[in-house]
Structure 1
Amino acid sequence: MRMSGTTKKRDGHGRLGSALSGLAVAVGCLLFLGGFVAGALLYQPYTVPTGSMAPTLAVGSKVLAQRIDGDEVRRGDIVVFKDPLWGDATMVKRVVGIGGDTVACCGTGGRLTVNGTPLDEPYLGTGAGGPGGVVPEEFSATVPEGSLFLLGDDRTTSLDSRSHLEDTAQGSVPRSTVVARVDSVVWPLDGGLVDRPAAFAALPGGVSTPGPVGLLLTAIAAGAFLILAGAAYGPVAKLLGGRAKPAREKVKA
């Protein structure tokens, strides 16, 4: 009598699953670590020191600001800068005027104007300086070439370019004082990406292009998922394999 057994083999499927899980972990590590490294090179974290940018940025908010050259700044950008004439402290304000602009208050409906064009600024909120968030004080300033005129979004409390109108530059600061541009709010978690205001997009020169922070955060999240999924394959496969019924051996006489 000769006996021959045919048992269902699972080695091929097991090897493929192990290979795919290893590949998932490797790709995940690449995305996760690559996202962090690129983020560290391109971005600098900051804590908003005051409430002058409320409601856009609340006091204590954690933001990611892209390291840029001052020449890259456009109207509407929220920038981090440090000017010795303003106390040499790190500050966060919104750019409302660039070299050659005339920034004034108040135009139609009590709105801020740039070169005579009234701006819609919905980000100010109703409590940021009167109905519709208008600037309460009347002023007019011409921005020198190579400089920026900066205001806080809370126009009732912010110490900004309006507080320095008597200076030689009429409240403007050199572009060289800018060290970064705010792209994202990471805390509170509902902060998200910082929008480029539509009102400034309609002016000559438009607005700046958002940095890659969204792409980097997506890469980090995808990498973490792949690492966890790949690492979980082994224990899950073992658990499922232990529950499977063994294949019956077929016997021929």
Structure 2
Amino acid sequence: MDPGSDSPDGADKAQTSADDGDQNQRPKKKQRSFWKELPILIGIALVLALLIKTFLVQAFSIPSESMQNTLQKGDRVLVDKLTPWFGSEPERGEVVVFHDPAKWLEGEPVIEPNALQRVLGWIGLMPSAEEKDLIKRVVGVAGDTVECDGTGPLKVNGKALEEESYVYAGNTPCTVDDGGQFKVKVPKGKIWVMGDHRQNSLDSRYHQNDKNKGMVPVSQVVGRAIVVAWPPTHWSTLPVPDTFDQNLTAAAPGALGLAGAVPLVLWRRRRLITADTTRVSGTGTAG
């Protein structure tokens, strides 16, 4: 049959030819060059990095030997900043980063970063020079009584901590010097922190005369250090030591009062029962 006839087959073929012609005449959309897309990609990466730094994880550099041998000077740790957003507070045994609570770093030398370091610090890929932060281990939380007598052991609510796994080798858990001997009760909204290198850490012990009495406000805690990320040879996680798994919770005064009252009530009840029994027996005999 003639392709140009009015038959259905002829119409379909004619339409197909017309469509092909339109497609050939339509200009092709040019792909954007890689160099034009690069600034957009960098911008997106910077925004994501800033969001991650603000809400999820931030890198911090260890500035001193106060946390040896758990952390070495120059190590880079990743800090969990997400959990505090959900109301979680520091717990005993955790290694935490916190803002300088009361000029603890006053007088410490400050290294001026170059332009690149400032940018990397702003997006969280390097520590920010403007942020005055410290890193220590949480020893006491609200309600705890923490004490050091002699060279130790360190006690929390009267229970001795076995700290050999993380305290710097050769150090004693407590130091016999000004500040090293103490007995404090941690108030609500605060934590008591100490460095693992006990003889080389200016922690809560040595700031008991400041406005917080050596305590760190929970509101100043940036987050928990969860892993040593750099250098690769030092890579490790930062779990809570087993010694903090024991029941260190301080007994509430009400609970102690109740515990002391129970034996007294039972004793008094037993006396009353005995007295009643005696009176009943005596009446029966007399009758």
Q: TM-score, normalised by structure 1?
A: 0.59
The separation in 2 between residues aligned to 1:157 and 1:187, in whole angstroms, is: 23
The separation in 2 between residues aligned to 1:148 and 1:86, in whole angstroms, is: 17
Amino acid at match of 2:77: V
Matches of residues 234-253 of structure 1 in structure 2 within 5 Å?
none
User: 1:119 matched to which residue of 2?
Assistant: 161
Runs of at least 5 residues in structure 1 that lack an aligned partner in the other structure? 1-32, 206-253
Deviation at 1:166, TM superposition (A): 2.6
Identity, % of aligned positions: 39
User: 2:152 matched to which residue of 1?
Assistant: 110
- With 52-61 and 88-97 compared, the bigger mean Cα shift is at 88-97
The separation in 2 between residues aligned to 1:188 and 1:56, in whole angstroms, is: 14
Q: CA RMSD in A?
A: 2.5
User: 1:93 matched to which residue of 2?
Assistant: 136
1:156 aligns with 2:199: yes
The separation in 2 between residues aligned to 1:158 and 1:146, in whole angstroms, is: 23
Amino acid at match of 2:202: L
Contact persistence 2:104–2:207 (CA under 8 A):
no
Instruction: Give the structure, 1 or 2, with the largest relative contact order (CA under 8 Å, sep 6 or more).
Output: 1
Deviation at 1:182, TM superposition (A): 0.2
The separation in 2 between residues aligned to 1:71 and 1:172, in whole angstroms, is: 18
CA deviation map 1:66-107 (0-9, x unaligned): 004274210011111013413472100110000111110138
Deviation at 1:194, TM superposition (A): 0.8
Larger radius of gyration: 2
Amino acid at match of 2:80: Q
CA deviation map 1:26-55 (0-9, x unaligned): xxxxxxx9xx97966521011011111111
Matches of residues 12-161 of structure 1 in structure 2 within 5 Å?
41-67=55-81, 68-69=83-84, 71-87=88-104, 89-106=132-149, 110-121=152-163, 122-127=165-170, 129-130=171-172, 134-136=173-175, 137-161=180-204
The separation in 2 between residues aligned to 1:158 and 1:86, in whole angstroms, is: 15
The separation in 2 between residues aligned to 1:86 and 1:142, in whole angstroms, is: 22
Runs of at least 5 residues in structure 2 that lack an aligned partner in the other structure? 1-44, 106-131, 250-287
Amino acid at match of 2:199: T
Q: TM-score, normalised by structure 2?
A: 0.53
User: 1:226 matched to which residue of 2?
Assistant: none
What is the aligned counterpart of 1:201 among 231, 234, 245? 245
Deviation at 1:149, TM superposition (A): 0.2
What is the aligned counterpart of 2:209 among 152, 166, 183? 166
Contact persistence 1:144–1:169 (CA under 8 A):
no
The separation in 1 between residues aligned to 2:52 and 2:246, in whole angstroms, is: 31
The separation in 2 between residues aligned to 1:154 and 1:61, in whole angstroms, is: 15
The separation in 2 between residues aligned to 1:165 and 1:71, in whole angstroms, is: 26
The separation in 2 between residues aligned to 1:181 and 1:111, in whole angstroms, is: 25
